[in-house]
Amino acid sequence: MTPTRVRPAPRLAIAACGAALLVGACGETPTPTPADAVETPAPPQGPPPVPLPQLRSFDADVQQQLGDAHASLQASIEAGTVTADEYGRLGMQFAGYGLVGEAEAAYLNARALAPAEFRWAYYLGVLYDTASRPEEAIPALERALQLGPDYVAGVARLGDLLAGQDRVEEATQRYRHALTLDPTCVPCLVGLGQMALLGRDYATAVTHLERALALAPGAATTRYPLALAYRGLGEDDKAQEQLDARAEATLNIGLGRQIDRPGVFDPLVLEMEATAVTGNVAIEARGVTAAREGRWDQATAEFKKLVAADPENAVSRNLLALALLTTGDRQGARQQYEETIRLEPSHPRANLQLGLLLVDSGDEQEAIARFRAAVQGDPGANMAYLNLAGALLRNGDAAEAVEVYGALLDRDPSNAPARLGRAFALIRAGRHVEAKAKLEEDILARPTEMAFPHALARLLAASPDPTVRDGTRAAALIRDVSETLQNGEVAETTAMVLAEAGAFDAAVRYQNIAIRMAEEAGMTALTADLRRTLAQYGAGQPSRVPFRPNDPVFLPAPFRPATAFDDVTQ
């Protein structure tokens, strides 16, 4: 259920006499007027009203929840027993459902009745912030933090708001204060890094942003300002590394398709969000909260309740499946994913996860069917495409794998795994001329990634197609690769290049290096293959097999979804 946001009501003003007015005790009792005097209206008594909005767009249980809460508040008002907590709790529910104007009225009354209470002042500031009203959010949060100066989430939120208004010195002050309270406050480190960037203090920016990234490596948004800081220092290679890593995080997380942002734990906001649920929605919210906090046993228990309450709900089944999978119950997870698909055959996440479980059990054909369904259910899902193409390649259907990789690249040209997979699928299909052309394009598109020149060097050195081979170009490529990578595969490729040039003694030396590394790694089958090629070099014969049929490049490992729990209901 997606709540409809009601247009905010006009901001309610509290009379100058403040809380005293709200309880009917402002000023002296007025002198009675003469009987023949004109009668004037009595001053308003009690707090300003909190209206109940139109709720027709909400689910029935939500309408019931809000209606009952509002009726309870009205009863307390009429009895003269209303408290700040009653106003505040209703405000939390209104805010949780996006009812900004009504939440504002309730919070203002709560704050007026309990001016020393931090939470109501804070919730009012958060409400203004989430409603994109920074001119009201900033003073509201400043007032709240006078009452609770050590609330880290509030200090960080205020810092972000001040930064957004270009109040750099004030924002910097708030971020620094938050870090004295919690040195692991990632948004504060990011904020300080961005403030340093504005001042062109690139070294300080790098220090703060690297620290933030170390604490939250999945927060891809941190990488862009870090790249700018490195660029400001003239370290373009490091800047490009950050941009490439950011691209991978945003383009290859599959169904999530979102950039992870660094966050700060805010228990008051979590408490507010938890009030805006009822019935099955409440059970789901408790389970989701537990999952996000890593309390998977509790999450599993809540999701089981949810499934028991509504066995025909695909979302509930999918949530339970993920909880079971995370806690190691793979068979239980598989059953729940199968039930999810029974209820919703096109469910992208369930099809993807079930496909991965089928791959693990060796059932590639059925896994391919699930990955196809995941692609059809969500045509923008990078991970579904990657897993479908990878399964096809592992299954020997290289030609269709080329098509699937190509379809993904039409949507997402920067997707490095798809580019590399396409090249290997073309090679596996024997289409070396096309593979050569695509790899040349890939090198231009992803200049910092050595996998592309490495693969092309092998193809140019050892392709059986003489129109593809180019020993001079292969030698130049492997020299560049060797400056960055030194491993058994590079040694094997170097031997191929040397053999193509007729330098068989040198080829034998490098092939022996590759053999030694394979033996040290305990790779018996690979060692045997390498020895057969070594015999060729010893006999003065170059290789005409750039990649063996059983080479791991033709057996790509599955891509698994990001672990962020926020993605699972999609």
Domains and CATH numbers, the chain: 47-251 (1.25.40.10)
pLDDT surpassing 60 at residue 144: yes
Specify the length of the chain in residues.
570
Q: How far is CA 203 from CA 172, 188, 233, 432, in A?
A: 16, 17, 7, 47
- Give per-residue pLDDT as tens, 62-117: 888 899 999 999 999 999 999 999 999 999 999 988 889 999 999 999 999 999 99
Return the amino acid letter for 65.
Q
Whether 221 has a pLDDT exceeding 60, the answer reads: yes
Q: In a 10 Å sphere around its CB, with 0-12 CB exposed, 13-18 middle and 19+ buried, how is residue 117 labelled?
A: middle
| Confidence check: pLDDT of 6 > 50 | no
Tens of pLDDT, residue by residue over 400-415, are 999 999 999 998 898 8
DSSP 487: S
265: pLDDT confidence band, cut at 50, 70 and 90?
confident
Q: Which two tokens stand for residue 176?
A: 């620094």
Higher pLDDT, 6 or 236: 236
- pLDDT of 351 reads 95
**Average of per-residue pLDDT across 144-153:** 96
The string of pLDDT tens digits covering residues 309-341 is 889 999 999 999 999 998 899 999 999 999 999
pLDDT (mean) for 169-177: 96
Q: What is the mean pLDDT of residues 497-519?
A: 97
Cα–Cα dist 238/230, whole Å? 6
User: Could you give the CA distance from residue 454 to residue 547 in angstroms, rounded to a whole number?
Assistant: 12
pLDDT at 140: 97
Question: Above 70 in pLDDT, residue 34?
Answer: no
Most confident of 5-9, 34-38, 139-143, 185-189: 139-143
**pLDDT cut 70: percent of the chain above it:** 86
Burial class (CB in 10 A: 0-12, 13-18, 19+), 3: middle
Is the pLDDT assigned to residue 508 strictly greater than 70?
A: yes
- 461/216: higher pLDDT: 461
The mean pLDDT of 11-16, rounded to a whole number, is 30
Contact 254, 352 (CB under 8 A): yes
Where does 344-397 have alpha helices with state H?
348-360, 364-377, 382-394
- In angstroms, the CA 5 to CA 62 distance is 14
Q: For residues 122 and 137, is the Cβ–Cβ distance under 8 A?
A: no
Residues 246/227, Cβ–Cβ less than 8 Å:
yes
For residue 292, what pLDDT is reported? Answer: 72
Instruction: Label residue 493 by pLDDT band (50, 70, 90).
Output: very high
Report the pLDDT averaged over residues 390-407: 96
What mean pLDDT comes out for the span 387-404?
97
- Taking 80 as the threshold, does the pLDDT of residue 373 lie above it? yes
**pLDDT at position 414:** 83
Check residue 96 and give its pLDDT: 85
